[in-house]
Amino acid sequence: MADNKKLVEAITSMDEDFAKWYTDIVKNADLIDYSGVKGCMIIRPYGYALWENIQNVLDGMFKATGHCNVYMPMFIPESLLNKEKEHVAGFAPEVAWVTHGGSEELAERLCVRPTSETLFCDHYANIIKSYRDLPKLYNQWCSVVRWEKTTRPFLRSREFLWQEGHTMHATAEEAHEETIKMLGVYADFSKRYLAMPVIMGRKTDIEKFAGALATYSIEALMHDGKSLQAGTSHNFGTGFAKAFDIQYLDKENKLQYCHQTSWGVSTRIIGAVIMVHGDNSGLVLPPYIAPTQLVIVPIAQHKEGVVEKATELYNSLKEKFRVELDVSENSAGWKFSQHEMRGIPVRLEIGPKDIENGQCVLVRRDTREKLFVKLENLEQTISELLESIHNSLYEKALARRADMTYEAKTLEELSTIGAEKNGFFKAMWCGNRECEEKIKEVADMTSRNIPFDEEPITDKCICCGKPADKLVYWGKAY
């Protein structure tokens, strides 16, 4: 019991050491364990259940927009990878290679996929012949390998889980529409299911994906004021199509190159949920993706009828909610701390007096507010409570982001504020690459994206003073 109590309390304060706080959370909430392979993590059942819920919702959203799931091999021949030079150059430092099959050296090295553009393109070149074959709207759920030097659970690991959509279109307009639509799907998912506000926008050319014509992202602000790129959507134009000779006969019987998109989110989005909503007691999970939405804790469970009533409630609620019944022999106080650390949105307490009065107690994880609820109103109250918690988490994160968003009109101002605070920094940029690199060097922050539909704050670049019409979000990032 003492060891268990120590485990529940073993969370460093986020104000003391945010990185340690994060590590304590993912370990003590049983989300991950470290593996014998350096830089790779074991996703434990609770962490994987969280990913499954994210996956199930997104998969439904993808299918609702006409996409189909496929699966590509995890190995890419070196000659195939080299077909798109800019793309391979961008990934070369992170590529893992297979050189032997058993005891025999391979005639050609195989890359363990860091991403699958080349595999999809090779396939599309074989199956696309006519305008009637378009669009091709494919997605795959898989793992990828990138040999990162510095790793952190969920945020950056050498192998991670993700989905990658790869689509082909007849026209540039259709590809652009797809790119923006799927970015909107990610933003909608972030708000409706993760209670996480994001900034939608276009990446600068320095920050765009290797081989892309344009890259768009959703950027979320973490509790410590750092940004996290939570999802990306890329418009490849015809670059890959020309490299792989992906052409189709149009309605005039003329050969045209296809226009391609790619988009993805990964398990790093779990890291975002932790760092946006968590507190010094552990996880605070948004209700609609929480593995357990409600935990039932019998009070004085040794007394007659208590466990039986708790079990009855469990059986009546489990058809509508993801419910857990805790009848372990740990003390009620230990259970409360444990389930708070796991971020379960609502705790239901019921004891002898509650049973006599035909009621129970509901406790919110986000505010710890207690509600006394009549049992006949329980199902409706829980539904309303989960929605209220979701909305409250979103509004709280939105208000925090507003408080940590600053404007700068000169490079000196950006550098000075950035040295004292973390957050989003709104500043104008002329579009010149040299100015962006200087801002990065002087202010020690990168461009996050150029947001959609935000008004300029001045008409001059903060770096060179020349005319500028691009408002950029800058910041330090994971």
- Residues 290 and 409: their CA atoms lie apart, in Å, by 42
Over residues 318-365, the pLDDT tens digits come to 999 999 999 999 999 999 999 999 999 999 999 999 999 999 999 999
Strands 75-77 and 104-112 come out as: antiparallel
Over residues 406-434, the pLDDT tens digits come to 999 999 999 999 999 999 999 999 999 99
pLDDT at 90 over 80: no
Domains and CATH numbers, the chain: 28-277 (3.30.930.10), 294-386 (3.40.50.800), 405-475 (3.30.110.30)
Percent of the chain residues past pLDDT 70, beyond the cut: 98
Over residues 220-262, the pLDDT tens digits come to 999 999 999 999 999 999 999 999 999 999 999 999 999 999 9
Over residues 206-223, the pLDDT tens digits come to 999 988 999 999 999 999
Helix (H) or strand (E) holding 220: strand 214-221
Over residues 379-416, the pLDDT tens digits come to 999 999 999 999 999 999 999 999 999 999 999 999 99
* Model confidence band, residue 92 (pLDDT cutoffs 50, 70, 90): confident
- N residues, the chain: 478
pLDDT at 177 over 90: yes
As to burial, measured by CB atoms within 10 angstroms (0-12 exposed, 13-18 middle, 19+ buried), residue 16 is exposed
CA 163 to chain centre: 11
**Residue 254 backbone phi and psi in degrees, to 5:** -110, 145
Average pLDDT value for residue range 9-19:
90
- Residues 263 and 140: their CA atoms lie apart, in Å, by 11
Q: Are 273 and 282 in contact (CB under 8 A)?
A: no
* Model confidence band, residue 9 (pLDDT cutoffs 50, 70, 90): low
Which pLDDT score, from 0 to 100, does residue 88 have?
Answer: 73
Helix (H) or strand (E) holding 346: strand 346-350
Which pLDDT score, from 0 to 100, does residue 16 have?
Answer: 95
Residue 142, sorted as left (phi over 0), alpha (psi -120 to 50) or beta, turns out to be: beta
CA-derived radius of gyration, the chain: 25
- Residues 48 and 143: their CA atoms lie apart, in Å, by 13
**CB contact set of 144 (below 8 Å; sequence gap of 6+):** 113, 114, 115, 116, 159, 160, 162, 164
Which runs of consecutive H residues, i.e. helices, occur in 44-157? Answer: 45-64, 78-81, 85-91, 117-127
pLDDT at 61 over 80: yes
Percent of the chain residues past pLDDT 90, beyond the cut: 94
Which pLDDT score, from 0 to 100, does residue 1 have?
Answer: 39
End-to-end CA distance of the chain: 37
pTM of the model as a whole: 0.95
Over residues 105-142, the pLDDT tens digits come to 999 999 999 999 999 999 999 999 999 999 999 999 99
Average pLDDT value for residue range 171-192:
98
- Residues 46 and 39: their CA atoms lie apart, in Å, by 20
pLDDT at 7 over 70: no
In the block, residue with structure tokens 């079990």? 311
Which pLDDT score, from 0 to 100, does residue 2 have?
Answer: 42
Q: How many CA atoms lie within 13 A of 325 on its CB side?
A: 17
**CB contact set of 194 (below 8 Å; sequence gap of 6+):** 269, 272, 273, 276, 286, 289
Q: How far is CA 170 from CA 118, 177, 213, 338, 381, in A?
A: 19, 12, 16, 54, 50
- Residues 364 and 348: their CA atoms lie apart, in Å, by 9
pLDDT at 8 over 60: no
pLDDT at 87 over 80: no
